[in-house]
């Protein structure tokens, strides 16, 4: 079977380091893992009044998440937390009450930032949100990366061999995690 992974990038920026990182990580995955970046830039601002008639982009995103066997969050840190666009997407897919698509999904998170602590605080906030939503989040290894010139190679891979090996270990553990925790019924 193929494991479909919903990759949720917490930046809308065209040249986003985190979107580039999502692409580089997908290259480290085995052939039976298919990463699809979930579009969040056309979601409206979450408004509870719309719960009974969610907008088409919200329904599309919820379907993509529901049909995935795993989640990968790749996010920058904004002002020591997660970007509003990511929280907006999470809130949309958690509603209406009782119809969240997050619960029980195996997940991991990574992040790259220009700051030296490499999204550590944002990831701690994200862990809290995902815990409440019953997402099964990988604890280790933690991935805090600092964006520097030449981080990515010309093909969109990881340029530095040590960093690449470190991220390969993360990917191998993530693959195990998804296989251990993904829903066997949904996987048929
Ligand atoms: C509104 C805003 C707040 C930011 N706050 C932080 C921060 O708290 N910590 C940090 O390391 N970098 C912070 N940055 C810098 C980001 O790391 C940098 O913009 C990075 O390129 C964002 O990721 P992206 O390239 O995927 O868009 C902030 C940037 C913006 C625009």
* Rounded distance from Cα 53 to ligand 1 centre (Å): 33
Closest atom of ligand 1 to 13 CA is: 27
Nearest CA to ligand 1 atom 24: 16
pLDDT, position 186:
55
- Give the whole-angstrom CA distance, residue 180 versus residue 152: 31
Q: Mapping DSSP to helix (H, G, I), strand (E, B) and coil, where does residue 22 land?
A: helix
pLDDT digits 0-9 by tens, 49-76 = 999 999 999 999 999 999 999 999 999 9
Nearest-angstrom CA–CA distance, 94 and 186:
19
Which pLDDT belongs to residue 183? 78
Our answer on whether the CB atom of 123 is closer than 6 Å to any ligand 1 atom is: no
Angstrom distance (rounded) from CA 137 to CA 174 = 10
Q: Does residue 20 have its Cβ closer than 6 Å to ligand 1?
A: no
User: Do residues 178 and 136 touch, judged by C-beta distance below 8 A?
Assistant: no
Probe residue for ligand 1, chosen from 10, 16, 25, 77 as the CB with the greatest number of ligand atoms within 8 Å: 77
CA distances (Å), 167 to each of 74, 101, 158, 163, 188, in order? 13, 28, 9, 6, 29
pLDDT at 188: 44
Residue 106 CB less than 6 A away from ligand 1: no
Find the 184 Cα to ligand 1 centroid distance in Å.
38
> Rounded CA gap, 94 and 61, in Å?
11
Among residues 82, 80, 83, which one has the least CA distance to residue 115?
Answer: 80
Low-confidence ranges of the chain (pLDDT < 50): 188
Tokens of 84: 């509003």
């Amino acid at each position: 079977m193929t494991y479909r992974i919903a990759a949720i990038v917490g930046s809308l920026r065209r040249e986003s380091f985190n979107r580039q990182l999502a692409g580089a990580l997908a290259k480290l995955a085995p052939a039976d893992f298919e990463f699809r970046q979930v579009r969040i830039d056309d979601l409206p601002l979450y408004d509870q009044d719309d719960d009974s008639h969610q907008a088409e982009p919200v329904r599309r995103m919820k379907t993509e998440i529901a049909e995935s066997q795993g989640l990968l969050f790749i996010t920058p840190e904004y002002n020591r937390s997660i970007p509003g666009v990511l929280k907006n997407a999470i809130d949309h897919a958690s509603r209406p009450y009782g119809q969240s698509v997050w619960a029980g999904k195996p997940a991991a998170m990574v992040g790259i930032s220009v700051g030296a602590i490499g999204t550590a605080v944002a990831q701690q906030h994200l862990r809290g949100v995902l815990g409440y939503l019953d997402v099964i989040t990988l604890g280790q290894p933690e991935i805090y990366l600092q964006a520097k010139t030449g981080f990515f190679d010309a093909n969109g891979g990881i340029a530095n061999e040590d960093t690449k090996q470190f991220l390969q270990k993360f990917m191998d553990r993530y693959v195990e995690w998804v296989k251990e925790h993904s829903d066997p019924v949904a996987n048929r």
